[in-house]
Amino acid sequence: MEVLEILATGGSGAVSFAVIVTLLRMLEKKQEEKKAKTNGGTLYTRVSLVEAKLNYVQEQQAVLAGEFEKLSDKLAAVHRDLCVFREDMRLHFMQIETRERTRKEVLREVSKE
């Protein structure tokens, strides 16, 4: 209203020019705000949103890295246990095979006599 009153009273030329410039800047600002709303925000808000998403992704990456370390340790433990089991089974089967050979040899010896 004040701007219209100044214009209506015919203020000095410098004041009128200043008022017109101020009005144009206000209109430009309103237009930019309207454009920003339709385009998903100003550049600053979009950058802020992207930064927030980046921080979230980095946090998730840290969580996943920790979980990966735990799973890697579990995998190493399972692999070690599997190797030990395999070696135990190999030794067990060798003992069985040795017993069988010995039994067969004893039976041959007994059958020859």
Beta carbons of 44 and 52 less than 8 angstroms apart: no
Residue-number span of the structural domain to which 35 is assigned: 2-112
Taking only the tens place, the pLDDT of each residue in 75-89 is 999 999 999 999 999
Taking only the tens place, the pLDDT of each residue in 17-55 is 777 888 888 988 888 888 877 777 777 777 888 999 999
In this predicted structure, what is the pLDDT of residue 4? 58
* Residue 99 or residue 38, greater confidence: 99
Distance CA 22, CA 3 (A): 9
User: Model-level pTM?
Assistant: 0.47
In total, how many domains does the chain have?
Answer: 1
Distance CA 66, CA 86 (A): 30
Q: Please name the residue ranges forming H helices in 1-113.
A: 2-9, 13-38, 43-112
Beta carbons of 19 and 7 less than 8 angstroms apart: yes
Token output for 45: 């808000």
